[in-house]
Amino acid sequence: MASGRGGIPGPSRPCRLPLLFLPALLPLLVLLAFSFSPSSAVAAAASPGAMHNNNWAVLVCTSRFWFNYRHMANTLSLYRTVKRLGIPDERIILMLADDMACNPRNNYPAQVFNNENHQLNLYGDNVEVDYRGYEVTVENFLRVLTGRHESAVPRSKRLLSDEGSHILLYMTGHGGDEFLKFQDNEELQSHDLADAVKQMKEKHRFKELLIMVDTCQAATLFSQLHSPGVLAIGSSMKGENSYSHHLDSDIGVSVVDRFTFYTLAFFEKLNMYSNASLNSLFNSYNPSMLLSTAYYRMDLYERPLNEVPVTNFFGSVMKIIHTDSGYSGFLAAYNDGILLSTEDNILNHAMLQNESSQRRSNIEETEEAQLRSHGLTEVLLEQLDGKNADTIAMYGLGTMGILLAISTWLSM
Amino acid sequence: MAPPLSPPALRRLLLLVLSLLITSVAAENVEEFTEELLLRPLPDRKALAHFHFRSSAPPSAAPSRHHHHFPKAIAQLVHQFHIKELELSFTQGRWNYEQWGGYDPMSTNYAKPPGVELWATFDLPLGEIDATWKNLTHTLSGLFCASINFLESSTAFSSPRWGFKLNEGNLRYGALPREAVCTENLTPWLKLLPCRDKAGIASLLYRPSVYKGYYHSQKLKLASSKSFGIILDQTLTVVLQPDSVRGKQLHSADGQLQPSWSMKDLFNRKLSGKCLVSKSSRVFFEIEKNIVDKVDKSGTEASWTNEIFVLSSAPDRVLKEINNMDGHSSSICEYDVSNYNEDAPLDVGVTWKLPLIWSCTPAPYHANRFLMGSGNERGSISLSFISTNMHKQLFDVSNDCSIKAVVFQVVPWYVKGFLHIDEYPPDANQGFDIPSALVTFPEFNSSRSYPETDSLFVSPLLRTFKEDGVVKSYTEVLLVPLTTPDFSMPYNVITFTCTVLALYFGSLLNALRRRTGEEERELKKAGNPTMLICLPVYDAHISCVI
């Protein structure tokens, strides 16, 4: 006894352990499958009350050629604003139809300015363009919006939004009555855009969408929209042109459009934590300075504009809810984590298992109506028809706990 | 009871054995990263800066493992597409073979054609390679923010068996001459480095000066095998014009001095330390063979300071090229960046004291390509070779004037045919680009070897100089103005056809259905009309009812 416990038991012991594991495996599988299904059901539920939890931006410049420098500067100004207020490159799809920064006609290589004072280099050191040059077509634009890509298209070129996303869609270029011109040889029509937005809504690809258009007769482009949750603002109404702001005599072309210039003037005063509302943004446009009427439609949007902060679309600020109890959303991962730890004793196991099983059954009761069917769970449910899956899971957990205790006692 | 060895000796022996084991194991399974910069003055008053970053990952049995400095994106790319070798280059500008040389390892390996060039060899059965190539081009386009996915169409890539490199049919080559190269291509390339552009040699990359250069080319080279794992070489070659005030001095007697420049003049900043995870970080300053030749002729020995030029600080080491042929060889002055920090940054540069004119060794022939004639039928593409008589200097054989050259060029089929109207690019009137042709001279070899003084570590840049490289040169890209159709014709056709149909059907329906004079006849039949109620009826003529 002084030298520790007695000798190691005979060779029959190692053979018994694998046999003991087998009956525990099936309940474990059932437990895992069952715990996955409610959590995935919660995640994939098509509930209208889905919380806003991510922001995306799709910024499109549709004009090619050097004299359309200002459209590129418009898009890059929005890109810079949106990055500064918090949206990362992974959530931004930037489409530029031509290359201005390294264009041979650019006297300032790798630099794009939106003001003749050249204070701000919009191109910076850290720009990522997803679609450029000949890839900016109506087909690719609609594929990005609706999410229907070929299988080889990489993730960085896809709009991977879900039903909790707020999307900012900014388009600039040359446009007219119910169309937007892409690259001088094709056009996007207003009902095409409305159909794409309708598809997006059906596929739950956004919670709220803000469309901002800076072209001539911009308001006609979103006149055909009829999906709920969409807010749209255009730089001019039907019959009006949108004008450029000023000409840079060094670069030789106009460097920014009026609507975008005043939008930026509004945003440069903000930082990530400001709570300026969309209402103040929309009211900051002065028709006499824009030389056109900035028209917005909010009939499809149910929240009042003075309650919506601009960072809901232009930035990325999460609403943080402080709670004292543990987060019950990712219950499956929490359970697995507890099962895999080997240092706890049985009492702790049993207590935690009781709590988690109670929570699980609560969630099951509330989410029962929203359970989606998965092949695996259907098969298992059929097999367990009549029996209470909960008790089987409890038995499985108990067996596992006992096995773990035995193995730790043996290894001491 | 007492053990045979005394306890302290036993412990020391154990420690020694353990440390040997650990170092041997560690040396095999460790990722390494080295960074180097080579600076060289060019004869036409410009300066060449060549950045070389090498990252290597050891071989692993399982496809998944932890990555420390080696970029996970590249390891996943290699495993998913079974890549054996890959080279992807983004270039803007043309390498001036006449002025900057065509016979040294720099121009052989790092002079690339304008636009994007991608070639890859795969470790797959030959039937699956085309599909894998397509997926690879899409993945690379997402990774590097370029339209590399246009290389998926069969008009854009080719599978040469011997024209480009000798292979068994698993090589695919594609080039996009008109692809723009700008900051958005450099950003993800820099993100593959462990220190990004925040520390080390990559922190010198001031974007406006890189893109203001006469030639800039960023290249990614991958080689993977089961024996040595994956080796990733990222190089950026820039030819810049230093615009320092000091460069405009005139020497009293002999004409204009070459511009004196330093890293601060080229990149607007100095090096303030190395990347901490790099195994070594060095700056090389190369003094070419012809400069050494001329300095020697003037009497003094060509070290880092002499009568003609002086470097900004003393190098840590000077390496002379091992050359068996003639007496003169180039030399490289090496500076170790780990000796410098923010308080004492490194700024390598040269100050010229006397004017000097030299030339770089050219390739045996200058190859140029241009268009002759006009139009689809009478136009032609011509290649011209102008001898530089260099083979006489090297081989000393004056009678033999035959040299073997291999020309590889890809000309798209539609130069001689017609495209469908929606296959034209949006700015079709600009013309179509034909990618550069590659001319190789297999009998000439451009390797240079430098002494390896440090047995534990060999500089990757100098090792690539030592590799056997056949002399190659790329010709210019051609812009071919092809006949374009009238793009407004579809609209015109639709308008005309609809007008004609409207006129035809309109008149037909009128002729069949209109009753002229019916109202008056009805009225006369009825006698005295008191009231006429005229209503439009469904077939669009008015009938009046009394």
pLDDT, tens only, A145-166: 999 999 999 999 999 999 999 9
Residue B450 pLDDT: 87
Q: Nearest CB to A101: which of B179, B183, B487?
A: B183
pLDDT digits (tens, 9 = 90+) for B96-148: 999 999 998 999 999 999 999 999 999 999 999 999 999 999 999 999 999 99
Closest-CA residue of chain B to A94: B145
Using CB atoms within 10 A of its CB, is residue A36 exposed (0-12), middle (13-18) or buried (19+)? middle
Highest-confidence segment of A38-47, A293-302, B372-381: A293-302
Spell out which chain A residues touch chain B, with contact meaning CB-CB distance below 8 angstroms.
64-65, 99, 101-103, 108-111, 123-130, 132-135, 152-157, 183-186
- Residue B525 Cα, gap to closest chain A Cα (Å): 54
Q: Which one is predicted more confidently, A216 or A361? A: A216
- Residue B472 Cα, gap to closest chain A Cα (Å): 28
From the candidates A174, A322, A349, A374, give the one annotated as an active-site residue: A174
B426, A64: Cβ pair inside 8 Å? yes
Q: Give me the amino acid identity at A400.
A: M
Q: Which chain B residues contact residue A99 at CB under 8 A?
A: 180, 182
Q: Nearest CB to B183: which of A108, A127, A183?
A: A127
Q: What is the CA radius of gyration of chain B?
A: 35
Q: Which chain B residues contact residue A130 at CB under 8 A?
A: 142, 145
Q: Give me the percent of chain A exceeding a pLDDT of 90.
A: 64
Strands (E), B313-457: 317-320, 331-336, 349-352, 365-372, 380-387, 406-408, 432-434, 438-445
Q: Nearest CB to B145: which of A108, A111, A128?
A: A128
Q: Give me the amino acid identity at A170.
A: Y
Which one of B141, B147, B215 would you mutate to disrupt binding with A, by most A Cβ within 10 Å of its Cβ?
A: B141
- Residue A21 Cα, gap to closest chain B Cα (Å): 28
Which one of A125, A136, A160, A182 would you mutate to disrupt binding with B, by most B Cβ within 10 Å of its Cβ?
A: A125
Q: Is the pLDDT of residue A138 over 80?
A: yes
Q: Which one is predicted more confidently, A358 or B303? A: B303
B138, A183: Cβ pair inside 8 Å? no
pLDDT-derived band at A167 (thresholds 50, 70, 90) equals very high
Q: Nearest CB to B147: which of A124, A134, A155?
A: A134
Q: Specify whether the CB–CB gap between A114 and A254 falls below 8 A.
A: no
Tell which residue, B523, B524, B525, has the closest CA to residue B533: B523
- Which of A294-303, A338-347, B43-52, B310-319 is predicted with the least confidence, judged by mean pLDDT? A338-347
- Sign, CA dihedral A81-A82-A84-A88, equals negative
A99, B182: Cβ pair inside 8 Å? yes
Residue A61 falls in the annotated catalytic set: no
- Residue A322 Cα, gap to closest chain B Cα (Å): 35
Residue A349 falls in the annotated catalytic set: no
Residue A2 pLDDT: 41
Q: Give me the amino acid identity at A213.
A: V
pLDDT digits (tens, 9 = 90+) for B501-525: 999 999 999 999 888 788 788 888 8
pLDDT-derived band at B211 (thresholds 50, 70, 90) equals very high
What is d(CA B381, CA B373) in angstroms, rounded to the nearest whole number? 9
From the candidates A216, A226, A246, A374, give the one annotated as an active-site residue: A216
Q: Nearest CB to B92: which of A102, A133, A135?
A: A102
Cβ-based contacts under 8 A for chains A and B: 85
Q: Which chain B residues contact residue A122 at CB under 8 A?
A: none
pLDDT-derived band at A342 (thresholds 50, 70, 90) equals very low
A185, B487: Cβ pair inside 8 Å? yes
Which one of B182, B236, B421, B433 would you mutate to disrupt binding with A, by most A Cβ within 10 Å of its Cβ?
A: B182
What is d(CA B181, CA B116) in angstroms, rounded to the nearest whole number? 8
Residue B485 pLDDT: 85
pTM for this structure? Answer: 0.79
- Compute the mean pLDDT over every residue in chain B, rounded to the nearest whole number: 86
Q: Nearest CB to B426: which of A99, A128, A185?
A: A185
H or E element that contains B157: strand B157-158
Contacts of residue B281, defined as CB under 8 A and 6 or more positions apart, other chains included, come to B34, B35, B36, B200, B201, B274, B275, B336, B337, B338
Q: Measure the N-to-C terminal CA separation of chain A; round to a whole number of Å.
A: 15
Which one of B136, B181, B190, B207 would you mutate to disrupt binding with A, by most A Cβ within 10 Å of its Cβ?
A: B207
Q: Give me the percent of chain B exceeding a pLDDT of 70.
A: 86
* Burial state string for B327-354 with b = 16 or more CB within 10 A and e = fewer than 16: ebbbbbbbbebeebeeeeebbbbbbbee
Q: Which one is predicted more confidently, A101 or B415? A: A101
Q: Is the pLDDT of residue B8 over 90?
A: no
Q: Nearest CB to A110: which of B138, B145, B183?
A: B183
- Residue B456 Cα, gap to closest chain A Cα (Å): 37
B184, A127: Cβ pair inside 8 Å? yes
Taking CA atoms, B439 is separated from A84, B114, B405, in Å, by 48, 15, 7
pLDDT digits (tens, 9 = 90+) for A2-37: 444 444 444 444 445 555 555 555 555 555 555 444
Residue A340 pLDDT: 41
* DSSP string computed for A338-373: HHH--SS-HHHHHHHHHHHHHHHHHHHHHHGGGPPP
- Residue B190 Cα, gap to closest chain A Cα (Å): 10
Q: Which chain B residues contact residue A152 at CB under 8 A?
A: 134-135, 138-139, 149, 152
pLDDT-derived band at B378 (thresholds 50, 70, 90) equals confident
Tell which residue, B350, B305, B356, B290, has the closest CA to residue B100: B290
pLDDT digits (tens, 9 = 90+) for B71-97: 999 999 999 999 999 999 999 999 999
What is d(CA A410, CA A53) in angstroms, rounded to the nearest whole number? 48
Spell out which chain B residues touch chain A, with contact meaning CB-CB distance below 8 angstroms.
92, 134-135, 138-139, 141-143, 145-147, 149-150, 152, 179-184, 187-188, 197, 207-208, 210-212, 425-427, 487
Q: Is the pLDDT of residue B246 over 60?
A: no
ipTM over 0.95: no
pLDDT-derived band at B295 (thresholds 50, 70, 90) equals confident
What is d(CA B85, CA B111) in angstroms, rounded to the nearest whole number? 19
